[in-house]
Amino acid sequence: MSALTEQELALAHLVVETLNLEVKPEEIDPEAPLYGEGLGLDSIDILEMALAISKTYGVQLRSEDENNRKIFASLRRLNEHLQEHRTK
């Protein structure tokens, strides 16, 4: 497991707080999948995260975006996408 960067840790906190997860933010593996196996998120969680992301980063996620699966592939990929597109 590689260590979380400061930005990734902030995102990890948002994920854990939004979804009331049982895991500590600093213990999330930044390379592990968020969907299904791994952190165990389902589509309802993803919808919930999309709203939190919109409020926090000003990024509106779209599933027509070909990269959508890749974006949620891991915390690291999600953070990269948000840093690239953030308006807040």
Partner 1 sequence: MKLPLIAGFAPDAVFAWREGEPIPTRRFLRDVARLGALLPARGQVLNLCADRYRFAVGFGAALLRGQVSLLPPNHTPEMVAQLLLDYPGLYCLREEGGPALEIETLLFPQEAGAADGGEPGDPQAPLIPEEQVAAIVFTSGSTGTPLPNRKTWGRLTLSAQSEAARLGLRASPGEPAWSLVGTVPPQHMYGFESTVLLPMQGGLAMHAGRPFYAADVAAALGSLPHPRALITTPVHLRALVEEAAASASSAAAFQALPDFLLCATAPLSDDLARSAEARLKAPLYEIYGCTEAGQVATRRSSAGPRWQALPGLELHQDQLGTWVRGGHVEGEVLLGDVIELADDTHFELRGRNADMINIAGKRTSLAHLNFQLGNIEGVRDGVFVLPEHANKGEAEKNPEVVRLAALVVAPGLKPAQITAALRRRVDAVFLPRPLYMVEALPRNSTGKLTAAALRELLAQCATKPPTRT
Binding positions for partner 1, rule: CB under 8 A: 20-24, 36-37, 40, 42-44, 47-48, 50-51, 54-55, 60-64
CA distance 22 to 60: 27
State which residue, 5 or 65, has the beta carbon closest to partner 1: 65
State which residue, 1 or 6, has the beta carbon closest to partner 1: 1
State which residue, 6 or 22, has the beta carbon closest to partner 1: 22
